[in-house]
A and B are shown apart, each in its own frame.
Chain A
């Protein structure tokens, strides 16, 4: 079995290319997914079947991040004892479920119905966790130093970590902004809780990934300049 070891610190031009390309590809995949779900193509119709489509969206989001990790991930897996590995898995699962509970509570505090629609609220919390915490789990596994760099200290390394940092913030911002169209009196079917917030979350995530690829490029160029002089 395997466990993560050290993170790769030096960033060369080739990996940069991969990182940026990977980000852009996953962004476009997610955007396509959002488009599909909004228009009810392929029977993923977020307006008629919100719960099922949220599940589908969530799975795809996980798969996309999984692929991203598989191709450009920086963790080197090592052989490890089975018991420790199971412990790590449990840890990650615990963190994920705590984050779902946390987001569920926050959604209720922000005004989501308390008793009714709890399935919808739960699914919203799941998708928000999928775009914020799940990428951290996938890319960083149990490297909690890196977790803290990304979430608390706001000083991630350039590359995957900065992507995680930026998309973490933009996903939450997207979910927050997604609540804005709800009070409008247009009486559209998509104004129902939690559709706008789910879409907001995913769009925020995509925007975050895009920004992070631009950010990575600019940072890389700056560093190279310093190295040359």
Chain B
């Protein structure tokens, strides 16, 4: 029989859980089957009619991509007069095209150039763009030997290396800059318009997107930016017009912008973008518009036809016929036929029995009527045939895009099975209260298990529909997963079978209302993920649950207090009565006891009545003797929490409700914002100066640095008219201040680490190990507060101060005297931490990630620091409460020992009690994670064809994964250092 310590077992479970999550993600995010070849010119012949793709229509094509250009900016507002003029004169073909979510730049550029629908995983890769290998019109143009010039977002340069004759990429990640990025593009235009050696000019302007991210679409900065864009378009159009009439300008956005200024989601504001073809060759001929709703992917095919390049091989879009104005109906139909043949090829590749598909039959019918037309049967007019083509191509491409998402069911099921095993074994182990865990199995069983798993794996891999790309290959990855899961299964089954006998179910039932609430609430939260609206409105669940905890604690305290004050007196008076009728101190749930007693001997009912009366106290007496300090403390805690939830509205249903954050950001309230931010700095300084003298000085100077940073980025007014600060304000864009704060944070951590080790080494026999540790945790928490002040949006500084006060109140009124067991404490901190995640303004949609926080104190994109900063900025709240939890545990430990007031406590025993508490916390966390993840994976798998799978369920899966990583990291750290 092998025995391992609890700690090691937890490490293994954490590792297995992370592996299972990775495997599930690999199985869930579809592996796209795309044609790797690039398209050639195809000639088709129908009867005696040869279909040849028309030559290029324009000498020069310029694409002006304005990032986050929303539909109403260009069509409804009057900020772009030149464009409006062209539209009224009829030199424009204007569309509102629909982009596929996720509405993030990289997948949108891919869609725009290749006509494919990039998957959700491209959002993650958005920060790390690689070469686009799929066929697209930029590569096609390049390989035909034409010259392409590009200026703007350097994502393009990374996607299309060596494609451009001249290019200058600007990094898109310095979000607070919205003039320089665009000037970097515009300054090249004059040269390009005089050289004119290019065939395709691509300009990608980022300024508008940055304005959206930092100040929102209603800002006064939007109008001059649109005016600037209009001037650029005017300059290019008029300059090109002096040369020839044969040019085309495409003005479009890659995605829109929500009313909060962000993007990534699937709301109409984010999805609908303008696409405007401008050319003097367009005449104001009232061409009939097709009833079809154009998609963004249609632009790739249309541009290919207009530029005379082959339609990209994986294109799913359809030609926008009105933009091909210079062609006659016959030519348009030929183009549609080419488009149709290309999509048909994709369909044959991707849809197993395409011959039975309705769309395929529709397309064949359209082709047939075209053939009939060529033969001379003019019963169907050309326009009718065009319509038939359009309809059938649309339904074919819908069919293909549906079938492109193939799920790797084997990987997903295996991941879920593994999660399930982990959950069962960990819950069995949690209930069993032994120090070490027996996991051994007899050799025969191990061999049998290995054979069984291998056999199952073989069967799955050789079966047709169940085979998996990530598990069945000969790659390193599949071997790795195979071995990991083999060991995992043996471990889990060993742990379950050896410990399952010693489970006692009595231990599972929590004893007080608070504990029952914490357990049931966690379960309810997990189950609520079954409904998509509860996923969208997850913050409501947390707010509701947290408030319930506070109320329950308050009511319990008041009740206990009353019970104690009024029964103790009556006890003295009727001292000969039996004590066990008196509700004891812990008797907030004492009715059971009382009832039990009633059954036992009824005669003493009368005595019970006596002990339960109030000795004729008047109401005012009772009122005055209530625990007013507790009530006021809890009430102020609840008020603070209520204010925190109004700071940033998130979710979906009540997103538009005005919140304090919006109100504070608006320019006319800058003074109020200044006052409240300075107040919150002061509050946190007074509350958190708990460290040694020099560390307090570091903390205060770092907070001053944060203040300087807020002044420098122009979020608040300067209230300290000191020349040094004024000079800094002008010199840097906040980069200097931010770096100063970073160095202070590092300095604080390093000095407290050194102090910790020095004290530890100089340990005397009476050395207080835990007090030292507590000191270190406090300074770590202070460092984290500085991170929060620096990384969060300006108005959220108030939130930080509130959070600090909240923690103080929770420590004082909930944790201090309740003696709450460590696993329930872990759940409490988990709830509060999750609530604070949403207080910050986060949600379960990708669009609420604050991209600008990743670039604080940076001048350039850095592949390590930026994701790290983004991650910490998104999860500041939960991390703060994790640190607080460790603090609470150490604190309550020291507190209880002081109460014992015995100096001769066994050192080892003490050490053990803290380490047991930490292990219990970690067990609780991991159990919660496993349960939620398992349930959520089941939901996602069963809902994989749901309408919201890409907009609600996938982002949530991503968030859950991030949370998993966070909790695993945190658990490993505290397991390693504290137990």
A: which residues have CB within 8 A of B? 9, 91, 106, 108-111, 114, 144-145, 148-149, 152-155, 176, 179, 182-186, 222-223, 226-227
Contact = CB atoms under 8 A, between A and B. Distances in A.
A145 B614 contact: yes
Contacts of A152: 559, 562-563
Interface string B531-555: 1111011001101100110010000
Contacts of A222: 599
19 contacts: A9-B605, A109-B551, A109-B638, A109-B639, A109-B642, A111-B645, A144-B622, A145-B613, A145-B614, A154-B591, A155-B583, A155-B594, A155-B608, A155-B612, A176-B548, A183-B537, A185-B653, A186-B533, A222-B599
B666 interface: no
B interface secondary structure, majority: helix
Given A144-B614, A145-B613, A227 B551 contact: no
A152 B531 CA distance: 38
Q: Which 4 A-B pairs have the closest CB atoms?
A: A154-B591, A183-B537, A185-B533, A145-B613
B563 A110 contact: no
B322 to A, nearest CB: 37
Contacts of A223: 602
A184 B652 CA distance: 11
Contacts of B537: 183
Given A111-B544, A154-B591, A185 B614 contact: no
B855 to A, nearest CB: 34
A225 to B, nearest CB: 10
B540 A183 contact: yes
B403 interface: no
A185 B948 CA distance: 13
Interface residues of B, number: 43
B619 interface: yes
Nearest to A153: B612
B590 interface: yes
Given A106-B551, A183-B537, A222-B599, A148 B645 contact: no
A145 B532 CA distance: 49
Given A106-B551, A155-B608, A183 B619 contact: no
A132 to B, nearest CB: 13
Chain B CB within 10 Å, residue with most, of A9, A111, A227: A111
B534 A183 contact: yes
A145 B622 CA distance: 12
Nearest to B591: A154
Nearest to B588: A154
A123 B548 CA distance: 21
A55 to B, nearest CB: 27
Nearest to B582: A153
Contact of B547 (A9, A110, A154, A184): A110
Given A109-B638, A152-B562, A223-B602, A183 B653 contact: yes
Contacts of B563: 152-153
Contacts of A145: 612-614
Interface in B593-622: 594-595, 599, 602, 605, 608-609, 612-614, 617, 619, 622
B543 A111 contact: yes
A111 B591 contact: no
Contacts of B547: 109-111
A90 to B, nearest CB: 11
Contacts of B642: 108-109, 111
A226 B614 contact: no
Contacts of B602: 223, 226-227
Contacts of A144: 614, 617, 619, 622
Contacts of A185: 532-533, 536, 652-653
Contact of B614 (A110, A148, A184): A148
A117 B653 CA distance: 17
B605 to A, nearest CB: 8
Contacts of A184: 531, 533-534
A146 B599 CA distance: 21
A154 B513 CA distance: 13
B590 A154 contact: yes
B556 to A, nearest CB: 11
Contacts of A227: 602
Contacts of A226: 599, 602
A7 B590 CA distance: 23
A186 B613 CA distance: 50
Contacts of A106: 551
Interface in B553-594: 559, 562-563, 566, 583, 589-591, 594
A198 to B, nearest CB: 17
A227 B598 CA distance: 12
B653 A111 contact: no
A154 B598 CA distance: 13
A9 B605 CA distance: 10
Interface in B636-651: 638-639, 641-642, 645-646, 651
Contact of A179 (B544, B614, B619): B544
Nearest to B534: A183
Contacts of A155: 583, 590-591, 594-595, 608, 612
Nearest to B531: A184
A106 B548 CA distance: 10
A201 to B, nearest CB: 16
A97 B99 CA distance: 56
Contacts of B536: 185
